[in-house]
């Protein structure tokens, strides 16, 4: 139950991030829907594809679709004041989506008996694949490839689950909260994964 609520929050957060990008690019209402759906469900579609679940399993999420389309329509129709709130709170909801999707992807992959590499990839792609599709469709360079630490936390979740350290709902909850906290700290303190610039090593 709690899990479903978190999943809904994550889906709504990702759909809204697609809406925000579509509005910035001045896409029309259909562009808003396409980008919102791609962000919210694209990561799961890629994950299903890579770990061998039929991609068409997506269509069993009827309720999530309905919620997403209502949220996107409302976000498009209401005055854009919510964009101010989004700037403040968006990163938090997005962190919930990242944590929920990464854990869900990793649990899927382990339940299918995949090796560690697949579990980490499933966590990363479920958590961040939707955002990459969104950015590619908007003609942007994928943000997750260079913003404050993001993919790492999804990979970490995949690693912890792939090691078999998560054996209770309580442990899942702790991992979930850890990923959110780590992500929020990354944003707050502007933690970055090393980037190499210039022509010589900066290590």
The answer to whether 112 and 181 are in contact (CB under 8 A) is no
Minimum CB separation of residue 104 from a copy of itself in Å reads 17
Q: Does 1 bind a copy of itself (CB under 8 A)?
A: no
Q: Does 87 participate in binding a copy of itself (rule CB under 8 A)?
A: no
7-15, 92-100, 134-142, 175-183 -> range binding a copy of itself (CB under 8 A): 134-142
Q: Which C-beta is closer to a copy of itself: that of 146 or that of 188? A: 146
Residues 89-128, interacting with a copy of itself (CB under 8 A):
112, 114-115, 117-118, 121, 124
Size of the site for a copy of itself (CB under 8 A): 62
Contact between residue 9 and residue 93 where contact means Cβ atoms under 8 Å apart: yes
d(CA 28, CA 47): 28
Contact 184, 91 (CB under 8 A): yes
Q: How many residues does the chain have?
A: 203
Tokens of 87: 């700037």
Q: What six digits make up the tokens of 30?
A: 């259909």
Please state, in angstroms and rounded to a whole number, the distance separating the CA atoms of residues 102 and 179. 9
Provide the binding-site residues for a copy of itself, judged by CB under 8 A.
22-23, 25-31, 34-35, 37, 45, 49-52, 54-56, 58-59, 62, 65-66, 76-80, 112, 114-115, 117-118, 121, 124, 132, 136-142, 144-146, 150-152, 155, 192-197, 199-201, 203
């Amino acid at each position: 139950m709690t899990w479903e609520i978190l999943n809904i929050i994550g889906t709504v957060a990702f759909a809204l991030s697609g809406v925000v990008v579509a509005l910035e690019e001045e896409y029309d209402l259909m562009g808003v829907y396409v980008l919102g759906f791609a962000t919210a469900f694209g990561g799961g579609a890629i994950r299903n594809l890579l770990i061998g679940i039929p991609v068409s399993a997506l269509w069993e999420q009827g309720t999530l679709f309905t919620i997403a389309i209502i949220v996107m329509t409302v976000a498009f129709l209401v005055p854009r004041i919510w964009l101010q709130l989004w700037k403040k709170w968006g990163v938090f909801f997005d962190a919930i989506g990242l944590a929920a999707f990464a854990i869900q992807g990793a649990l899927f992959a382990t339940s299918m008996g995949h090796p560690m590499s697949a579990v980490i990839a499933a966590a990363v792609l479920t958590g961040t694949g939707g955002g990459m599709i969104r950015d590619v469709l908007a003609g942007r360079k994928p943000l997750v490839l260079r913003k404050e630490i993001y993919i790492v936390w999804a990979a970490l979740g995949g690693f912890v689950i792939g090691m078999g350290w998560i054996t209770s709902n309580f442990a899942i909850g702790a991992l979930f909260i850890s990923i959110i906290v780590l992500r929020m700290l990354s944003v707050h303190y502007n933690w970055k994964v090393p980037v190499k610039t210039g022509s010589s090593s900066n290590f």
